[in-house]
Structure formats: C-alpha cells, structure tokens
Amino acid sequence: MANIVVVGTQWGDEGKGKVVDLLADQAQVVVRFQGGNNAGHTMVVEGRTFISHLIPSGILQNKACYIGNGVVVDPEVLLDEMESLGKMGVAVNPGNLGISERAHLIMPYHKALDLARETAKGKEKIGTTGRGIGPCYEDKAGRRGLRFVDLMDFDAFARQAREVCEEKNFLLTGFFQAEPVDAEAMIASFADFARRLAPHVTDVSEAVDQAAAEGKSVLFEGAQGTHLDIDHGTYPFVTSSNTVAGNVCAGCGVGPGRVHGVLGIVKAYTTRVGKGPFPTELFDEVGDRIQERGAEFGATTGRRRRCGWLDMVLLRASVRLNGLTGLAVTKLDVLTGLAEVKICTAYRLNGKEIKRFPANLDELAACGPVYETHPGWDGDISGARAFSDLPENARAFLRRMEELSGVALKIVSVGPGRDETMVLENPLEKP
Ligand code: GDP
Ligand code: IMO
Ligand code: MG
C-alpha cells in the first residue's frame, strides 16, 4: 500500500475529512502537516457526525495519528477535541495520537491579535477564522514562537511567554486599542495544558519515517485548499501556511521519496468562506439552492459558504501545483435536480480568453467565467455504489471533469456518509 497526500483543490471544505476517514481503513498512519484549528473536517459514520479541527481524521478508525511540526496547535482546542471524541466513544490516548515536539503553540495573544487586526481592517478584512493562525505563523517565521518542546521546560517557557506577551500587549493596547492578555493567567493555564499533553509529545518525523520504512501505509491529511496557499493562493485572501502537497515534507519531516501519490479532493461545484475573489460565484437562486442542498455552512465558524460553479481554471492550477495523481469528486448529489450544470473552462479578461489564474487580484476580480453547459440529472443518486449506477448525464459530467483536468477519477462521493462513496480505483493501491 502506498503513502498518499490528500489535498483540497479549491478553497477548502472539499470533503477531505470524509475521504481521509474512508481511506484510513487501509492505512496505518494519518498525519496533519500544516494549518491548525482553522480547519474543520467532517466525518459521518452510521449517522453520527464528527468534526475534527486538529486531530487527523484517521482517529475514528483508531489509526496512529500524528500532528506534524508544520501544524500550529491551540492546546486548549486540542484538549477539548480529545474530550469530546472521548464522549462519543472514540478514545484518544498517547498510543493513537502523537504531537510533534516542534509544532508551534497558538497563544492567547495570537487569537487576540487575529481579531484585532481583522477588526481594524473593517471592510478590507480577510475574513479569517479568528483562531490566531496568521499571528502564530508570523511568530514562527519571526523566531519568537513557542513550541511543544518548550513546554517541557516550563520555567524557561514561562519566562519566554511573559517576554513575548509584553510586546503583544503593547501592540494590542497601544496600537489596536484592544484589551491586553493577562500573562500570568495564560502561563497558569499553559502549565495545565503541558501536564495533560506531555504524554503525546514525540518526534513525529522519526515516527512517520519509521512507519514508512516498515512498509506501513501513511496518509498525509491536508487542511484548507490549494487556492488558500500562502504562496500560490489568492494572496492576501489566503491562510498563512503552504497548503500544497509539496509542504508535506517540511511539515512533518519526511523526504519526498516517502510520498507516492497525491489525491486531489474536488467538490462538484466551488465554495469559499471568507473574503477574496471567486470568478464562478453565483448570486442567483441556483447558488442559493446549492448552498441549501449542500448544507454549505463552515464546519469551524458556521459561516454561510459562498457557492458557485465548478472552475476548471482553478482545478488545472491545482493539478500542477500539487502534482495530482488522482481525483476524488465529492458532493455530486448536491447538483441533482438542476436542469443544467456548468463548468468554467476559461476566463474572459478584457475581451480575451485566458486559461491561467492571474496572480494580480485586480485582474482576477475583472475575470469573467467562460462556461460550457451540460444537461443535468434527476433522481436520488446517494444510493449509487458503482459508476454504472449513476445517471448518464452525471457520468458524462464526471468524465468531462476528468478530461479537462487530465487526472484519473478515483473516487466519487454522493453523500456525507462514509459508505456513500464509490471507489473506481483504489488510490492506495495505484497512487
Ligand atoms: P473538509 O474541510 O474538506 O474536510 O470538508 P468539510 O467537512 O468542512 O465540508 C464538507 C461537508 O460536506 C461536510 O459537511 C461533509 O459531511 C459533507 N460531504 C462530504 N462529501 C459529501 C457528499 O458527497 N455529499 C454531500 N451531500 N455531503 C458531503
Ligand atoms: P478546511 O481544512 C475553508 C479561510 C478563512 C479565511 C482564510 C484565512 O476545513 O478546508 P485563517 O483563519 O486561516 O487565517 O483564515 O482562510 N480558511 C478556510 N476556508 N476551509 C478551511 O479549512 C479554512 N481554513 C481557513 O475562511 O478566508
Ligand atoms: Mg472544512
């Protein structure tokens, strides 16, 4: 069995959690390599819904789960998540969850700064999840971040945290006119987090590399989506990490040779939470219908997701940026009942057709979609378990996606449940 990366190809929420949970059955190890609790990954198993923000989606299958060094971790959220999984009968313990000693900690002042910056920006805000992600990665790059390994020497941690907090409070109160963070209360709560999380802290690079060397199959679980990547996305309306598959290596400490394939998760249409350009966004009743049928509300913030048609300019860029070796199409069922479905194949910019995604946001905002229109399909498709069970028009739509992307279709999802899926080709067997 191969080691594969599962990445979002659009702006997040493509259904990565569902697909990772499904594939975890055949894997032994599942690792997160970037992002933090800005992610919200939903798994629906036997009618029960689980949402994970930090713990890899392999936990429901009781696989060896790791949070890599590239992830930024809010320890309070992690502990809450462990507890709520426990209440749902999913035990999380040091035997099935390891946290990298090198992973950075999201501190209360990161959250305060995230909110203060967004408030100060007013209408120009990014629409972040407010979880402190950007400010934490800023401190990581600025070399004043605090890591799990620092928690293990608590007196030194407390000294450093106090020092950094003083600078942040100066910014919060002096510049943003916001409330300061109580450094001593923060340190006291981190003493408790350190005690409770210490048994999970480990060398994730070594653990994952060793598992791979033993021939165990590893799933690298991406968060967010390719077009939220800090370098390749719609900057500045992006998240603060590299979301592309290439970041697996840096984000959990394995070499590129350990990665055998990259499965791109693509919704049969497009959604986006937060601000930023979205060329195929719908503002009509079709958009509303997709939003309602797809229950498109953020799994982290509960915000209504913006909806639009499938955008192949976006997807083709994702094919290249991630080196996709397979596609998993999700939420096909949501398009059922529409008279016609559209696929954007190019953009029109100043009267010319372009097939690339412009880096300049003003140009991107001026791009209009060029659509091809396909006939829709009717009937409940959520019971389909083989490609041949799907209506002819749905099959033609999928084959067209495959043709336009140049990547083999491996999985089709027709409902939120683990079993509401058809595997056309096993990505772990033939990456
Ligand atoms: P992730 O962040 O990529 O893991 O995706 P989210 O969990 O944030 O959002 C995907 C949503 O769609 C969740 O509510 C899933 O339960 C749901 N979902 C996943 N696949 C399908 C599907 O094929 N059909 C339908 N109707 N819902 C799906
Ligand atoms: P999953 O893993 C969708 C978006 C936010 C905002 C921007 C920056 O569930 O697909 P941040 O808090 O990261 O600084 O916010 O990125 N965003 C997501 N959108 N799904 C996600 O994760 C997201 N994580 C961040 O809405 O526009
Ligand atoms: Mg999500």
Position 90 in a domain: yes
| Residue type present at position 79 | L
Are 279 and 386 within one domain? yes
- Amino acid 305: pLDDT: 96
CB-count exposure of residue 80 (10 Å: 0-12, 13-18, 19+): middle
- Amino acid 299: pLDDT: 81
Tokens of 395: 């099959």
Position 429 in a domain: no
Are 88 and 108 within one domain? no
Is the shortest distance between the CB of 271 and ligand 2 below 6 Å? no
- Condensed to tens digits (0 to 9), the pLDDT of residues 276-329 reads 999 999 999 999 999 999 999 988 888 999 999 999 999 999 999 999 999 999
Position 322 in a domain: yes
- Amino acid 330: pLDDT: 98
Residue 49 CA, closest ligand 1 atom number: 16
- Amino acid 431: pLDDT: 82
Is the shortest distance between the CB of 32 and ligand 1 below 6 Å? no
Q: Which residue has the tokens 């609790």?
A: 37
| Residue type present at position 291 | Q
Ion ligand 3: residue ranges with CB closer than 5 A? 13, 40, 299
Are 272 and 410 within one domain? yes
DSSP letter, residue 276: S
Which domain CATH number covers 397?
3.90.170.10
Three-state secondary-structure class, residue 304: strand
pTM (two decimals): 0.98
CB-count exposure of residue 258 (10 Å: 0-12, 13-18, 19+): middle
Bridge partners for 374 per DSSP: 341
Within 13-126, where are the H helices? 16-24, 75-87, 108-121
Are 244 and 376 within one domain? no
Q: Whose CA is nearest to atom 20 of ligand 2?
A: 12
Position 431 in a domain: no
Residues of the chain with pLDDT under 50: none
Position 346 in a domain: yes
Are 315 and 362 within one domain? yes
Bridge partners for 369 per DSSP: 347
Residue span of the structural domain in which 29 resides = 4-101+201-258
Dihedral of alpha carbons 371, 374, 375, 376, sign: negative
Are 156 and 274 within one domain? no
Are 93 and 82 within one domain? yes
- Work out how many domains the chain is built from and give that number: 3
Bridge partners for 44 per DSSP: 49, 417
Phi, psi of 137 (to 5 degrees): -65, -30
Position 430 in a domain: no
Q: Whose CA is nearest to atom 13 of ligand 1?
A: 42
CA distances for 171 relative to 27, 178, 219, 360, 418, angstroms: 46, 9, 40, 31, 46
Are 252 and 296 within one domain? no
Are 400 and 252 within one domain? no
Which ligand has the minimum distance to the alpha carbon of residue 37? 2
- Amino acid 157: pLDDT: 98
Measure the CA–CA gap between 70 and 401, rounded to whole angstroms.
32
Residue 356 contacts residue 313 (beta carbons within 8 Å) = yes
Is the shortest distance between the CB of 240 and ligand 2 below 6 Å? yes
Give distance in angstroms: CA of 13 to centre of ligand 1.
7
Is the shortest distance between the CB of 274 and ligand 2 below 6 Å? yes
Last residue of a domain, one of 167, 197, 227: 197
Residue 276 CA, closest ligand 2 atom number: 27
Q: Whose CA is nearest to atom 20 of ligand 1?
A: 416
Residue 207 contacts residue 218 (beta carbons within 8 Å) = no
- Amino acid 300: pLDDT: 84
Which domain CATH number covers 51?
3.40.440.10
Position 57 in a domain: yes
Are 55 and 114 within one domain? no
Position 128 in a domain: yes
Are 139 and 88 within one domain? no
DSSP letter, residue 211: H
Are 213 and 308 within one domain? no
Measure the CA–CA gap between 226 and 8, rounded to whole angstroms.
6
Which domain CATH number covers 150?
1.10.300.10
- Amino acid 387: pLDDT: 98
Q: Which residue has the tokens 């035997």?
A: 95
Q: Which sequence positions are flagged as catalytic?
A: 13, 41
